[in-house]
Each structure stands twice: as C-alpha cells, then as structure tokens.
C-alpha cells in the first residue's frame, strides 16, 4: 500500500491537497493512506517509523527548501512533489525532485506530479518536469 504524506503549514491547503490526491488515486484505482502534517518535527519523527512512498511538500520559502533537502538526504528513493511560493526550480532539479511547481496549489498540477511519479516508479527512472 502506498503512503502519501502531505507536509504544509496551512490546514485548509492540506485538506484540499488530500482531496485532489484522493480524486486522482480513485481514478487510477489506487487507494493510498494519506496523512497530513503541519509540523516538520512531527513529520520527520513519523518518517523514522514509516517512510512515505510520496511526499507532497507545500511549505513556504526556505522552510520548503530545507524540508526538501532533509527529506532527500534521509530517503533518496522517496518521491517528492514540491510546491513553493518561491522559484526553487533549480534546487528541485539538483535534488532530483520528481515534480516542482509554484503556488497556487491546483488540482491539475498535483495530478501532473502524481502522474509523473507513477511513470517514474513503473519505469524505474526519473524524468523530471517543472511547471510554473
């Protein structure tokens, strides 16, 4: 079973993102465990017990960059879909993030990110895509 973690600092954004992810997964007949975190410390403590298959990271500014770097260093095979209010596309490329886009969080962008991650998972390789 897939475990998809959402790390955001806004509760409403986390709920909306979970809904978008659930919609996409239902279309694909995949039913993952979706967990929402608003606290990085709690999130990283939980990853010590259960490593998520994919993380949707939606933290502002440097907080998002730091979380992406930390996540990639701890779990290099964990899929990351990263949404930021700042253009960290070059950092995302350097970190081998599967999909990066800039806010606002939109259903279509999350679907594109998940589609790319699923394709990478099936093919065993990474073809990164960025959207602005």
Q: Is the pLDDT of residue 123 over 70?
A: no
Return the CATH number at 81.
3.40.50.2300
pTM of this prediction? Answer: 0.90
pLDDT digits (tens, 9 = 90+) for 40-77: 999 999 999 999 999 999 999 999 999 999 999 999 99
Looking at the domain assignment, is residue 33 inside a domain? Answer: yes
Looking at the domain assignment, is residue 12 inside a domain? Answer: no
Q: How many domains does the chain have?
A: 1
Element (H, E) at 33: strand 33-37
Distance CA 132, CA 128 (A): 14
- Cite the DSSP H helix spans in 1-132: 11-27, 40-47, 61-74, 89-94, 107-123
- Averaged pLDDT, 74-99: 97
Q: Band the pLDDT of 23: cuts 50, 70, 90.
A: very high
Q: 92: domain range?
A: 19-50+64-123
Q: Band the pLDDT of 1: cuts 50, 70, 90.
A: confident
Nearest 5°: CA angle at 119, between 19 and 85?
Answer: 50
CA nearest to 115, candidates 6, 52, 107: 107
Per-residue confidence (pLDDT) for residue 126, from 0 to 100: 47
Q: Is the pLDDT of residue 130 over 80?
A: no
């Amino acid at each position: 079973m897939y475990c998809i973690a959402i790390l955001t600092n806004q509760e409403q954004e986390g709920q909306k993102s979970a809904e978008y992810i659930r919609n996409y997964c239902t279309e694909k007949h995949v039913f993952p465990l979706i967990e929402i975190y608003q606290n990085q410390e709690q999130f990283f403590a939980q990853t010590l017990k259960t490593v998520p298959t994919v993380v949707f990271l939606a933290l502002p500014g440097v907080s998002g960059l730091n979380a992406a770097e930390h996540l990639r260093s701890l779990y290099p095979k964990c899929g990351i879909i990263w949404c930021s209010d700042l253009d960290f596309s070059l950092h995302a490329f350097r970190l081998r993030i599967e999909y990066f886009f800039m806010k606002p969080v939109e259903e279509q962008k999350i679907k594109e990110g998940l589609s790319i991650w699923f394709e990478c998972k099936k093919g065993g390789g990474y073809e990164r895509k960025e959207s602005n």
